[in-house]
Amino acid sequence: MVRFIIVRVLGAIVVVWIVSVVTFLIFQLGPTLTHTSPVYYYVGKIPPTAEGLKLLTDRFGFNLPLYAQYWHFLSGILFGQSITDGVSAPIPCPSPCFGYSFRQNELVGNMLLQAAPVSISLAAGAAILWLIGGVTVGTISALRPGSVIDRIGMTGSLAAVSLPIFFTGPILLLIFEYQLGWLPDVAYAPISQDPLQWLKSMILPWIALAFLFAALYARLTRSNMLETMGEDYIRTARAKGLSQRTVVLKHGLRAALTPIVTIFGIDVGTLIGTTVITETVFNLRGLGFLSIQSIQNEDLPVIMGVTIVAAVALVIANLIVDILYAVIDPRVTV
Protein backbone atom coordinates (compact mmCIF):
# COMPACT_ATOMS: atom_id res chain seq x y z
CA MET A 1 0.00 0.00 0.00
CA VAL A 2 2.78 2.43 0.95
CA ARG A 3 4.58 1.61 -2.28
CA PHE A 4 1.37 2.17 -4.27
CA ILE A 5 0.84 5.57 -2.68
CA ILE A 6 4.45 6.60 -3.26
CA VAL A 7 4.28 5.61 -6.94
CA ARG A 8 1.03 7.51 -7.41
CA VAL A 9 2.32 10.62 -5.64
CA LEU A 10 5.45 10.59 -7.79
CA GLY A 11 3.26 10.20 -10.88
CA ALA A 12 1.15 13.17 -9.78
CA ILE A 13 4.26 15.30 -9.27
CA VAL A 14 5.44 14.42 -12.78
CA VAL A 15 2.06 15.49 -14.22
CA VAL A 16 2.16 18.80 -12.36
CA TRP A 17 5.71 19.32 -13.60
CA ILE A 18 4.64 18.65 -17.21
CA VAL A 19 1.77 21.11 -16.80
CA SER A 20 4.20 23.73 -15.52
CA VAL A 21 6.48 23.19 -18.53
CA VAL A 22 3.58 23.38 -21.01
CA THR A 23 2.11 26.46 -19.31
CA PHE A 24 5.51 28.10 -19.34
CA LEU A 25 6.11 27.27 -23.01
CA ILE A 26 2.72 28.56 -24.12
CA PHE A 27 3.06 31.83 -22.28
CA GLN A 28 6.75 32.58 -22.32
CA LEU A 29 7.46 31.23 -25.80
CA GLY A 30 4.14 32.08 -27.45
CA PRO A 31 4.46 35.85 -27.04
CA THR A 32 7.99 35.89 -28.50
CA LEU A 33 6.46 34.71 -31.78
CA THR A 34 4.35 37.86 -31.95
CA HIS A 35 7.32 40.14 -32.56
CA THR A 36 6.19 42.06 -29.50
CA SER A 37 8.43 41.90 -26.50
CA PRO A 38 7.02 39.65 -23.73
CA VAL A 39 7.49 42.71 -21.55
CA TYR A 40 4.20 43.95 -23.04
CA TYR A 41 2.29 40.97 -21.69
CA TYR A 42 3.74 41.56 -18.25
CA VAL A 43 3.36 45.28 -17.73
CA GLY A 44 0.81 46.19 -20.41
CA LYS A 45 2.93 48.65 -22.35
CA ILE A 46 6.24 48.86 -24.13
CA PRO A 47 8.57 51.43 -22.60
CA PRO A 48 9.07 54.27 -25.07
CA THR A 49 12.85 54.23 -25.01
CA ALA A 50 15.14 51.39 -26.00
CA GLU A 51 16.97 51.67 -22.68
CA GLY A 52 13.72 51.34 -20.76
CA LEU A 53 12.80 48.23 -22.73
CA LYS A 54 16.23 46.70 -22.17
CA LEU A 55 16.00 47.46 -18.46
CA LEU A 56 12.69 45.60 -18.13
CA THR A 57 13.82 42.76 -20.43
CA ASP A 58 16.82 42.26 -18.17
CA ARG A 59 14.74 42.54 -15.01
CA PHE A 60 12.22 39.88 -16.08
CA GLY A 61 15.03 37.79 -17.53
CA PHE A 62 13.57 37.59 -21.05
CA ASN A 63 17.08 37.77 -22.47
CA LEU A 64 18.18 34.63 -20.61
CA PRO A 65 18.16 31.20 -22.28
CA LEU A 66 14.80 29.39 -22.05
CA TYR A 67 15.87 26.84 -19.43
CA ALA A 68 17.09 29.68 -17.18
CA GLN A 69 13.78 31.51 -17.61
CA TYR A 70 11.92 28.31 -16.77
CA TRP A 71 14.06 27.78 -13.69
CA HIS A 72 13.35 31.35 -12.57
CA PHE A 73 9.60 30.66 -12.94
CA LEU A 74 9.77 27.28 -11.18
CA SER A 75 12.08 28.36 -8.38
CA GLY A 76 9.78 31.32 -7.72
CA ILE A 77 6.90 28.90 -7.14
CA LEU A 78 8.99 26.46 -5.12
CA PHE A 79 11.15 28.74 -3.03
CA GLY A 80 9.62 32.18 -3.36
CA GLN A 81 11.33 35.31 -4.60
CA SER A 82 11.21 39.01 -4.10
CA ILE A 83 9.67 41.15 -6.80
CA THR A 84 11.12 44.48 -7.72
CA ASP A 85 10.48 47.07 -10.39
CA GLY A 86 13.76 48.77 -9.63
CA VAL A 87 12.06 51.91 -8.24
CA SER A 88 9.90 51.00 -5.24
CA ALA A 89 10.94 48.75 -2.40
CA PRO A 90 11.07 45.02 -3.35
CA ILE A 91 7.89 43.08 -2.57
CA PRO A 92 8.51 39.83 -0.75
CA CYS A 93 6.71 36.93 -2.38
CA PRO A 94 7.03 33.78 -0.31
CA SER A 95 6.61 30.29 -1.76
CA PRO A 96 4.40 29.38 -3.59
CA CYS A 97 5.03 32.58 -5.51
CA PHE A 98 3.18 32.90 -8.82
CA GLY A 99 4.65 36.28 -9.61
CA TYR A 100 3.16 39.74 -9.65
CA SER A 101 0.41 41.23 -11.76
CA PHE A 102 1.68 44.62 -12.86
CA ARG A 103 -1.74 45.33 -14.39
CA GLN A 104 -3.57 44.90 -11.09
CA ASN A 105 -0.66 45.88 -8.85
CA GLU A 106 -1.13 42.79 -6.78
CA LEU A 107 0.64 39.52 -6.06
CA VAL A 108 -0.87 36.76 -8.21
CA GLY A 109 -0.92 34.56 -5.10
CA ASN A 110 -3.24 37.02 -3.32
CA MET A 111 -5.56 37.20 -6.30
CA LEU A 112 -5.74 33.40 -6.38
CA LEU A 113 -6.45 33.27 -2.65
CA GLN A 114 -9.32 35.73 -3.08
CA ALA A 115 -10.85 33.86 -5.99
CA ALA A 116 -10.42 30.29 -4.75
CA PRO A 117 -13.18 30.31 -2.06
CA VAL A 118 -15.75 31.38 -4.68
CA SER A 119 -14.81 28.53 -7.00
CA ILE A 120 -14.65 26.01 -4.17
CA SER A 121 -18.09 27.08 -2.85
CA LEU A 122 -19.51 26.77 -6.34
CA ALA A 123 -18.01 23.34 -7.04
CA ALA A 124 -18.76 21.87 -3.60
CA GLY A 125 -22.39 23.00 -3.39
CA ALA A 126 -23.19 21.96 -6.94
CA ALA A 127 -21.47 18.62 -6.39
CA ILE A 128 -23.67 17.78 -3.38
CA LEU A 129 -26.81 18.71 -5.34
CA TRP A 130 -25.95 16.73 -8.46
CA LEU A 131 -24.76 13.68 -6.56
CA ILE A 132 -28.02 13.44 -4.59
CA GLY A 133 -30.21 14.33 -7.58
CA GLY A 134 -28.42 12.21 -10.15
CA VAL A 135 -28.13 9.08 -8.03
CA THR A 136 -31.78 9.29 -6.91
CA VAL A 137 -33.12 9.70 -10.44
CA GLY A 138 -30.79 7.01 -11.78
CA THR A 139 -31.72 4.50 -9.08
CA ILE A 140 -35.45 5.02 -9.45
CA SER A 141 -35.14 4.68 -13.23
CA ALA A 142 -33.11 1.49 -12.92
CA LEU A 143 -35.60 -0.15 -10.55
CA ARG A 144 -38.43 0.28 -13.05
CA PRO A 145 -36.73 0.07 -16.46
CA GLY A 146 -39.07 1.01 -19.27
CA SER A 147 -41.62 2.58 -16.96
CA VAL A 148 -43.01 6.09 -17.38
CA ILE A 149 -40.76 7.36 -14.58
CA ASP A 150 -37.73 5.82 -16.26
CA ARG A 151 -38.59 7.36 -19.61
CA ILE A 152 -39.20 10.80 -18.13
CA GLY A 153 -35.99 10.59 -16.14
CA MET A 154 -33.85 9.47 -19.04
CA THR A 155 -35.36 11.82 -21.62
CA GLY A 156 -35.02 14.64 -19.13
CA SER A 157 -31.41 13.82 -18.48
CA LEU A 158 -30.67 13.61 -22.19
CA ALA A 159 -32.23 17.05 -22.57
CA ALA A 160 -30.22 18.40 -19.64
CA VAL A 161 -26.96 17.16 -21.15
CA SER A 162 -27.85 19.02 -24.34
CA LEU A 163 -28.45 22.38 -22.65
CA PRO A 164 -25.39 24.59 -22.26
CA ILE A 165 -25.01 26.52 -18.99
CA PHE A 166 -24.79 29.79 -20.90
CA PHE A 167 -28.39 29.14 -21.98
CA THR A 168 -29.88 27.68 -18.77
CA GLY A 169 -28.05 30.25 -16.62
CA PRO A 170 -29.60 33.36 -18.19
CA ILE A 171 -33.01 31.62 -18.18
CA LEU A 172 -32.70 30.97 -14.43
CA LEU A 173 -31.69 34.60 -13.94
CA LEU A 174 -34.58 35.76 -16.11
CA ILE A 175 -37.11 33.76 -14.07
CA PHE A 176 -35.86 34.11 -10.52
CA GLU A 177 -34.10 37.43 -10.56
CA TYR A 178 -36.08 39.56 -12.99
CA GLN A 179 -39.55 38.02 -13.35
CA LEU A 180 -40.21 36.70 -9.84
CA GLY A 181 -37.80 39.04 -8.10
CA TRP A 182 -36.86 36.44 -5.49
CA LEU A 183 -33.13 37.04 -5.72
CA PRO A 184 -32.80 40.75 -6.39
CA ASP A 185 -29.29 41.31 -5.06
CA VAL A 186 -26.95 38.43 -5.67
CA ALA A 187 -23.51 39.80 -4.92
CA TYR A 188 -21.17 37.18 -3.50
CA ALA A 189 -20.31 37.34 0.19
CA PRO A 190 -17.92 34.95 1.95
CA ILE A 191 -19.71 32.30 4.01
CA SER A 192 -17.79 33.39 7.11
CA GLN A 193 -19.19 36.92 6.86
CA ASP A 194 -22.76 36.52 5.66
CA PRO A 195 -23.94 32.92 5.21
CA LEU A 196 -27.39 33.94 3.96
CA GLN A 197 -26.03 36.25 1.27
CA TRP A 198 -23.52 33.54 0.34
CA LEU A 199 -26.36 31.06 -0.11
CA LYS A 200 -28.39 33.55 -2.14
CA SER A 201 -25.50 34.25 -4.46
CA MET A 202 -24.71 30.57 -4.92
CA ILE A 203 -28.12 28.95 -5.28
CA LEU A 204 -28.72 29.71 -8.98
CA PRO A 205 -25.16 28.83 -10.11
CA TRP A 206 -25.45 25.61 -8.10
CA ILE A 207 -28.70 24.69 -9.81
CA ALA A 208 -27.37 25.50 -13.29
CA LEU A 209 -24.19 23.51 -12.79
CA ALA A 210 -25.83 20.64 -10.91
CA PHE A 211 -28.56 20.30 -13.55
CA LEU A 212 -25.96 19.40 -16.17
CA PHE A 213 -23.95 17.02 -14.02
CA ALA A 214 -26.98 15.40 -12.38
CA ALA A 215 -28.07 14.32 -15.84
CA LEU A 216 -24.74 12.62 -16.51
CA TYR A 217 -24.81 10.93 -13.11
CA ALA A 218 -28.40 9.78 -13.51
CA ARG A 219 -27.54 8.02 -16.76
CA LEU A 220 -24.43 6.49 -15.27
CA THR A 221 -26.19 5.35 -12.07
CA ARG A 222 -28.99 3.83 -14.10
CA SER A 223 -26.73 1.71 -16.29
CA ASN A 224 -24.53 0.62 -13.36
CA MET A 225 -27.56 -0.16 -11.24
CA LEU A 226 -29.24 -2.18 -13.99
CA GLU A 227 -26.09 -4.25 -14.32
CA THR A 228 -25.72 -4.73 -10.56
CA MET A 229 -29.34 -5.70 -10.00
CA GLY A 230 -28.87 -8.56 -12.45
CA GLU A 231 -26.00 -10.06 -10.41
CA ASP A 232 -26.31 -13.38 -8.62
CA TYR A 233 -25.68 -11.95 -5.18
CA ILE A 234 -28.71 -9.70 -5.53
CA ARG A 235 -30.81 -12.80 -6.16
CA THR A 236 -29.17 -14.41 -3.14
CA ALA A 237 -29.99 -11.37 -1.02
CA ARG A 238 -33.60 -11.54 -2.20
CA ALA A 239 -33.70 -15.28 -1.52
CA LYS A 240 -32.59 -14.65 2.04
CA GLY A 241 -35.83 -12.71 2.45
CA LEU A 242 -34.30 -9.24 2.76
CA SER A 243 -36.61 -6.33 2.11
CA GLN A 244 -36.49 -4.54 -1.25
CA ARG A 245 -35.17 -1.50 0.58
CA THR A 246 -32.20 -3.38 2.05
CA VAL A 247 -31.46 -5.16 -1.21
CA VAL A 248 -31.45 -1.91 -3.18
CA LEU A 249 -29.68 0.34 -0.71
CA LYS A 250 -27.22 -2.03 0.95
CA HIS A 251 -26.41 -4.48 -1.81
CA GLY A 252 -27.29 -2.86 -5.11
CA LEU A 253 -26.45 0.80 -4.69
CA ARG A 254 -23.23 0.09 -2.87
CA ALA A 255 -21.73 -1.81 -5.78
CA ALA A 256 -23.25 0.47 -8.40
CA LEU A 257 -21.83 3.59 -6.76
CA THR A 258 -18.16 2.56 -6.68
CA PRO A 259 -17.38 3.67 -10.25
CA ILE A 260 -19.40 6.83 -9.67
CA VAL A 261 -17.22 7.79 -6.71
CA THR A 262 -14.22 7.75 -9.04
CA ILE A 263 -15.81 10.04 -11.57
CA PHE A 264 -17.21 12.26 -8.84
CA GLY A 265 -13.76 12.97 -7.42
CA ILE A 266 -12.32 13.78 -10.81
CA ASP A 267 -15.29 15.98 -11.78
CA VAL A 268 -15.06 18.05 -8.61
CA GLY A 269 -11.30 18.38 -9.06
CA THR A 270 -11.76 19.50 -12.66
CA LEU A 271 -14.38 22.05 -11.72
CA ILE A 272 -12.14 23.98 -9.34
CA GLY A 273 -10.56 26.52 -11.62
CA THR A 274 -12.43 25.57 -14.77
CA THR A 275 -15.99 26.74 -14.06
CA VAL A 276 -15.20 29.61 -16.40
CA ILE A 277 -18.59 29.66 -18.09
CA THR A 278 -20.73 29.35 -14.95
CA GLU A 279 -18.73 32.07 -13.24
CA THR A 280 -19.03 34.31 -16.30
CA VAL A 281 -22.79 33.79 -16.58
CA PHE A 282 -23.43 34.53 -12.91
CA ASN A 283 -20.70 37.12 -12.55
CA LEU A 284 -18.90 35.28 -9.76
CA ARG A 285 -15.32 36.37 -9.18
CA GLY A 286 -13.82 32.89 -8.92
CA LEU A 287 -10.75 31.32 -10.50
CA GLY A 288 -12.46 30.76 -13.84
CA PHE A 289 -13.57 34.38 -14.01
CA LEU A 290 -10.07 35.46 -13.01
CA SER A 291 -8.56 33.40 -15.83
CA ILE A 292 -10.85 34.74 -18.56
CA GLN A 293 -10.49 38.30 -17.23
CA SER A 294 -6.70 38.07 -17.22
CA ILE A 295 -6.74 36.60 -20.72
CA GLN A 296 -8.78 39.56 -21.91
CA ASN A 297 -6.36 41.93 -20.15
CA GLU A 298 -3.43 39.97 -21.57
CA ASP A 299 -2.16 39.63 -18.01
CA LEU A 300 0.08 36.61 -18.39
CA PRO A 301 1.38 36.02 -14.83
CA VAL A 302 -2.22 35.64 -13.60
CA ILE A 303 -3.36 33.18 -16.24
CA MET A 304 -0.23 31.09 -15.66
CA GLY A 305 -1.03 31.01 -11.95
CA VAL A 306 -4.67 29.97 -12.48
CA THR A 307 -3.68 27.23 -14.94
CA ILE A 308 -1.20 25.72 -12.51
CA VAL A 309 -3.58 25.92 -9.54
CA ALA A 310 -6.33 24.27 -11.61
CA ALA A 311 -3.94 21.51 -12.68
CA VAL A 312 -2.85 20.90 -9.10
CA ALA A 313 -6.48 20.67 -7.94
CA LEU A 314 -7.26 18.17 -10.69
CA VAL A 315 -4.16 16.08 -10.02
CA ILE A 316 -4.82 16.00 -6.26
CA ALA A 317 -8.42 14.90 -6.91
CA ASN A 318 -7.15 12.15 -9.20
CA LEU A 319 -4.67 11.06 -6.56
CA ILE A 320 -7.24 10.93 -3.77
CA VAL A 321 -9.62 8.94 -5.97
CA ASP A 322 -6.89 6.46 -6.95
CA ILE A 323 -5.86 5.88 -3.35
CA LEU A 324 -9.46 5.66 -2.08
CA TYR A 325 -10.26 3.22 -4.84
CA ALA A 326 -7.34 1.00 -3.83
CA VAL A 327 -8.62 1.08 -0.24
CA ILE A 328 -12.25 0.34 -1.17
CA ASP A 329 -11.71 -2.20 -3.93
CA PRO A 330 -9.50 -5.13 -2.90
CA ARG A 331 -9.13 -6.19 -6.55
CA VAL A 332 -6.81 -3.25 -7.29
CA THR A 333 -3.29 -4.66 -7.19
CA VAL A 334 -1.38 -2.70 -4.61
Partner 1 sequence: MSLPKGELEVVGESEQVALDSSEQGPRSIAGRSLWAIAWRRLRRNKAALVSGVIIIILVIVAVFAGVLTNLYGHSYLTQHNTAPNSLLDPATNMPLGAFGGISSTHWLGVTPVLGQDILSMLMFGARSSLIIASLSTALSLLLGVSLGLIAGYFRGWADTVISRTMDVLLSFPTLLLSISLITVVSFITTSLLVRFCVIIFVLGFFGFPYIGRIVRGQVLSIREKEFVDAARSLGASNGWIMAKEIIPNVIGPILVYTTLTIPNYMLGEAGLSYLGVGLNPPTASWGQMLSDAGNYFQIDPMYLFLPGLAIFISVMAFNIFGDGLRDALDPKSTR
Which residues make up the interface to partner 1 (CB under 8 A)?
15, 18-19, 22-23, 26-27, 30-31, 33-34, 36, 158-159, 161-164, 166-167, 170-171, 173-174, 178, 270, 273-274, 276-277, 280-281, 291-292, 295-296, 298, 303, 306-307, 310-311, 314-315, 318
Nearby residues of 44 by Cβ (< 8 Å), 6 or more positions away: 102, 103, 297, 298, 299
Q: In the bound complex, what is the minimum distance in angstroms from residue 24's beta carbon to partner 1? A: 11
Q: In the bound complex, what is the minimum distance in angstroms from residue 212's beta carbon to partner 1? A: 10
Picking from 309, 305, 301, 303, the residue whose alpha carbon sits closest to that of residue 271 is 309
208 vs 82, 160, 277, CA distance in Å? Answer: 42, 10, 11
Q: In the bound complex, what is the minimum distance in angstroms from residue 327's beta carbon to partner 1? A: 20
Q: Which is nearer to partner 1, 97 or 314 (CB)?
A: 314
Q: Which is nearer to partner 1, 79 or 167 (CB)?
A: 167
**266 sits in which H/E element:** helix 253-271
Q: How big is the chain by its Cα radius of gyration, in Å?
A: 25
Q: Which is nearer to partner 1, 204 or 315 (CB)?
A: 315
Q: Which is nearer to partner 1, 86 or 181 (CB)?
A: 181
Question: Are 281 and 169 in contact, with CB atoms under 8 Å apart?
Answer: yes
Q: In the bound complex, what is the minimum distance in angstroms from residue 58's beta carbon to partner 1? A: 23
Q: In the bound complex, what is the minimum distance in angstroms from residue 277's beta carbon to partner 1? A: 6
Q: In the bound complex, what is the minimum distance in angstroms from residue 10's beta carbon to partner 1? A: 13
CA dist 287 and 300 (Å) reads: 14
CB atoms within 10 A of CB 194: 14
CA dist 106 and 118 (Å) reads: 19
CB atoms within 10 A of CB 208: 25
CA dist 153 and 149 (Å) reads: 6
Q: Which is nearer to partner 1, 13 or 132 (CB)?
A: 13
Q: Which is nearer to partner 1, 247 or 315 (CB)?
A: 315
